[in-house]
Amino acid sequence: MHNLLSRQAEAVFWMARQIERANNLARVLNVTASFGRDGDDLKPWDAVLALYSEEGEYAQRYDEKHVGDIVYFYTLDQENPNSIISNIGFARENARALRPLMSTEMWTHINKFHSELQGLRRSQLRDEKIADFCEMIKRNCQTHAGLVSETLFRDEEWYFYGTGLNLERADQTTRLVDVKYHLLLPKKAEIGSQVDVSQWNAVLRSAAGFQAYRRIYHRGLTGTKVAGFLLLDERLARSVRFCTNRAANMLEELIVRYALEGGQLALEEAKALARQTAEAKIEVVIADGMHEWIDDVQGDVVTITNAIADAFFLRD
């Protein structure tokens, strides 16, 4: 029995992240579509561009900001490397490199998912169809997750997959909160207004956290509570706290179980991030600046990723 090839470790780590990115992008687009449902409101869509810091890339390709163009840019635009279709395309290329390691079912699904996307046209993304599209993406990403859970061999690739997945999910959840908290920040008077509450409601639902939230808070829905729940809850599978903790555990188990010689630095960084999210209090985070806290988490994810790459991936 040999260890995983460095190239394959890299491919499986990124495949997990690319699928998760597509999944989250679908969630963000879906919630944004619900914000803008009252008329053709550009503001929330503008926020999505800001969320991924892609105003520049967008402006290079399109003259003006139109809802339809922004939707296309993030869904079927093959020239945008961060679109859903590009992410699934990259994931499929990685899956091809991993084919000897994955079940036929898992490969066949990702291959079909990819060709289904290739067959879609821009006209199939108009208005009310955005929700259907996002549902289709989510469903496929969840099918993928199910196939991973059921069929991926619990060997090194499993731990690289899990580490990549959880780092990406932590990053994406910060973005989901940021889009509402920072970019759509209401004026003082509007806090607690019907629009404000319904937007937080949508964010919560897009992270599939509404039911869980209601089990903790029987009544009331405020920005502070929702943000605290999505970022710091211990049991919510998409929360930053949950995911950073999971990533650190997966990485530790990988290194110990397979007696890997590198990766100590990555593990220390991952544990530090997990500890920090476990100790954080939402009131303090808000008082010190939510946006800065989120920036720090995103920066830590990049640092951990680089440390993992240095330790395990193919380097010349």
Partner 1 sequence: MAIPTGGLLSDYDSGIYFDEMFGHGGDRADICRAVVRELNRQDLKVFKRRSKDVDQELRNLGITFTVYKNAKQIDRVLPFDAIPRIITANEWDVIERGVVQRVAALNAFLSDIYNEQHILNDGTVPRDLVVKNKGYQALMEGVRQPHGTWVNICGTDLVRGGDGEFYVLEDNARTPSGVSYVVENRHLTQRTFPDLMKGIKVRPVSDYGQRLVEGLSQMWPGGADHAAVALLSPGVFNSAYFEHVFLAREMGVPLVEGRDLIVENDKVYMRTTRGLQRLNVIYRRIDDDFLDPDVFRSDSLLGVPGIVKAMFKKNVVLANAIGTGVADDKAIYAYMPRIVKYYLDEEPIIKNVETHICREPDALAYTLENMHEMVVKPVGESGGYGVVIGPRATKKELADARKKLKADPANFISQPVLKLSTSPTLTRTGVEPRHVDLRPFAITGDSTWVLPGGLTRVALKKGSLVVNSSQGGGSKDTWVLA
Residues that bind partner 1 (CB under 8 A): 2-7, 9, 93, 96-97, 99-100, 104, 107-108, 111-112, 115, 156, 258-261, 312, 314
The least CB distance from residue 257 to partner 1, in Å, is 11
CB of 254 to partner 1, least distance (A): 8
Instruction: Give me the half-sphere count of Cα atoms (radius 13 Å) on the Cβ side of residue 295.
Output: 7
Q: What is the DSSP string of 69-135?
A: HHHHHHHT-TTSTTSHHHHHHHHHHHHHHTGGGS-HHHHHHHHHHHHHHHT--GGGGSTTHHHHHHH
Measured from the CB atom, the residue of 155 and 296 that comes closer to partner 1 is: 155
126: which 2 tokens?
């108009």
Taking the least distance from each CB to partner 1, the nearer of 60 and 115 is: 115
Of 198, 179, 146, the closest CA to residue 38 belongs to: 198
Alpha helices, DSSP H, located in 101-222: 104-118, 129-151, 156-178, 194-206, 210-216
- Residue entry with tokens 């209090």: 281
Nearer CB in complex with partner 1: 73/312: 312
Nearer to partner 1, 112 or 122 (CB): 112
CB nearer partner 1, residue 7 or residue 275: 7
Whose Cβ is closer to partner 1: residue 78's or residue 142's?
78
Question: Which helix or strand (DSSP H or E) is residue 50 part of?
Answer: helix 43-51
Contacts of residue 118, defined as CB under 8 A and 6 or more positions apart, other chains included, come to 85
- Smallest distance, partner 1 to C-beta of residue 5, A: 5
User: E strand or H helix at 272, and its extent?
Assistant: helix 264-279
What value, to the nearest 5°, has the Cα angle with vertex 232 and ends 299 and 226?
110
Nearer to partner 1, 69 or 93 (CB): 93
The gap from C-alpha 261 to its chain's centroid, in whole angstroms, comes to 30
